[in-house]
Amino acid sequence: MSHTSHTAHASRTSRTSHRTRRPALLAATCVTAVGLGLGLAAAVPVAAAGQSGSGSGAGSGSTGRQYDAKEVRHFLKGFYGNHGPSAWEREHLVTEELKEKAAQTPEYDLLLCAQNTPRAIDIGPVTTAQSAGVGWAPVTTHWGEGQGTQVFTAYVGLDASKPMKLMDISCEAPNG
């Protein structure tokens, strides 16, 4: 066997053995991710964990890149602004599932967990569960003198192959 053909054969052999290890490595990684994801998903509302193609979460077709906490915070600050989401944001930056859920409470603005427009809105620290494909943050609404504040949690999908969207709201205060 010549040096050139020996080198080519060794290169093919190396690539072949590398390829045969990939499925085992991928399977082990998936099992680990699923195990972690199930544990974390238990802490996330059902609508946030069960994502569909119209939402923005980890699903089939994912590129693997996920939005990070800084990007989620930027999205939520832009989405909520100072007084709540605009009509355009409500139409284009909310998953279909959350729109349907919000439509079931016409007397109550589910995206703000309120009936009125707040005077100011603050976004708290963002938490991301990469294995579950979900990020969330406390949202504090300020209502003016004597009316205090209210805190709720907003959930966002992390799959960066899709536009970021608000995917669920929990009107209960975080940790309580």
Cβ-contact 75, 164 below 8 angstroms: yes
Main-chain phi, psi angles of 113, to 5 degrees: 50, 45
Cβ-contact 72, 156 below 8 angstroms: yes
Q: What is the pLDDT of residue 110?
A: 96
The verdict on pTM exceeding 0.85 is no
Q: What is the pLDDT of residues 14-42, one digit of tens each?
A: 444 444 443 433 344 333 333 434 334 34
Cβ-contact 116, 103 below 8 angstroms: no
Among 66-75, 116-125, 137-146, which is the least confidently predicted range? 137-146
